[in-house]
Amino acid sequence: MKIKKKFIKRIFFEINKGLRRIYWYFFCKIKYFFISIKIKNNKKINQFTISLLLPTRERSIKFKRMLDSLISTCKNLDRIELLILFDEDEKEIEIYNQIIEDVRTQILIKKIKQNLGTHAKRNNFLAKKSKGEILFPINDDVIFVSAKWDVEIDKEFTKVRNEPYCLWINSGQKYTYLHSDFPIINRSWYERLGYVGSEFFYFWYLDTWICDLSQKSKKFLVSPNIKLFQFSAHTLKEEVDSTHLKNIKDDIPNKDKIIWDKTEKNRLNDSKLLI
């Protein structure tokens, strides 16, 4: 009898999962089409200032890989600011400094040293220091793939004017309409909430929290034109390093999952602030 109940429960779970995929696939496609149609005849595309938020630790080689790709694919670097947060005991600071010095005439980079306990706190701290109209939290283990990605950001956020909005981009995930690993928000979104990521967690769930608020509020677009590639230590053994091991130690991912399950009401309340 127990086996039968488990089997039936599993069937309903799979059906609900399939229906959810269908719903969000068509919702995102239809919404993107109609919002794009609204400005199709409007030749004026706004140019936004963009703040890239980057906490990094002991990953100077990965940082250089990311920075090189950013510079080579961005069309208008003069409206970009890259805010970098280091821990005060950063062991590779001299290497970082040299990398930054080599490109100082090409892109504005702001270096900040501050000891903060979690990934969300680091991003929120950088957001307070930022000046951009668009806030783009990134990791040091990504590379920018799309040419003129900054222009594509302009096009997408022009569509939504000054409303709080989130832009989902593709970093290699299978279902781009269900989740974005690197969601981009505008200043209006940030000011409504007062934060980029929730500080409930030990490390994980910054992107998942933003995406859940996006779905609950329906204030998001899924862009087919902006792509990153993440050299994730979860799937690429050669990318495992001390920083990654620190982030998964002491059962941190499971602890954060427990917190996630307990904060549904918080996400629902915060999503209402975006409407």
CATH assignment at residue 250 = 3.90.550.10
Task: Give the pLDDT of residue 148.
Answer: 98
Average pLDDT over residues 146-169: 96
β-pair type (50-55, 80-86): parallel
Burial 22-43 (b: 16+ CB within 10 A, else e): eebeeebeeebeeeeeeeeeee
Cβ–Cβ under 8 Å, residues 62 and 231: yes
> What local confidence, expressed as pLDDT, does residue 262 receive?
98
| 38 occurs within a structural domain | no
- Write out pLDDT tens, residues 95-129: 999 999 999 999 999 999 999 989 999 999 999 99
- Taking the CA atoms of the chain, what radius of gyration do you get in angstroms? 19
Domain of residue 144: give its range.
45-272
Whether 3 is in a domain gets the answer no
Total of domains in the chain: 1
pTM of the model: 0.94
Asked whether residue 190 is domain-assigned, the answer is yes
Q: What is the pLDDT of residues 184-206, one digit of tens each?
A: 999 999 999 999 999 999 999 99
Q: What is the mean pLDDT of residues 17-36?
A: 95
Spatial distance between the Cα atoms of 179 and 166, rounded to a whole number of angstroms: 12
Rounded Cα distance, 162 and 185, in Å: 11
Is 35 within a domain? no
Task: Report yes or no on 98 lying in a domain.
Answer: yes
